[in-house]
Structure 1
Amino acid sequence: MNIFDTPCQAAGPRLHVFQQEGGWHWGITIERSTGGGFKVIAYSEHTFPDEDEAQNDGDRALVNLSDLS
């Protein structure tokens, strides 16, 4: 998934899974209230060997984040 290929969704955190430096990572963003763009509010410190593992871990983090609200 690429944040530039997906339509913007108003409100709420969004999960992004991407490949970087030979492994897979995830990041969670929210829309900035002023000036446009996105703000990273959480990310994986662990490098995952495949996209599915990063997606699953990111999904868990997103659920845990919503449970805190």
Structure 2
Amino acid sequence: MPALWSFPERRSECCPSCAGVRPFEQPPCADGHEQGECPEWACAGCGHAILLGSAESTRPVRQPVTAAA
């Protein structure tokens, strides 16, 4: 099976589209992650994308509201 991208990051995962364990590769990252650090992976067979790893929160921290005296 030919590689979709020329990066060495490759792992086997269960592909929902292929209904079986398939090799997954990391496509070039448009989000600025270092090579090998991006959570996006794509099935080398069909291109189905999955996210692996922990999600980072980008929501602002809410400040508690106090009643005026």
Q: Shared topology, TM-score over 0.5?
A: no
Compare CA radii of gyration and give the structure with the larger one: 2
The structure in which a higher percent of residues are helix is 1
Q: TM-score, normalised by structure 1?
A: 0.26
Q: TM-score, normalised by structure 2?
A: 0.26
The structure in which a higher percent of residues are strand is 1
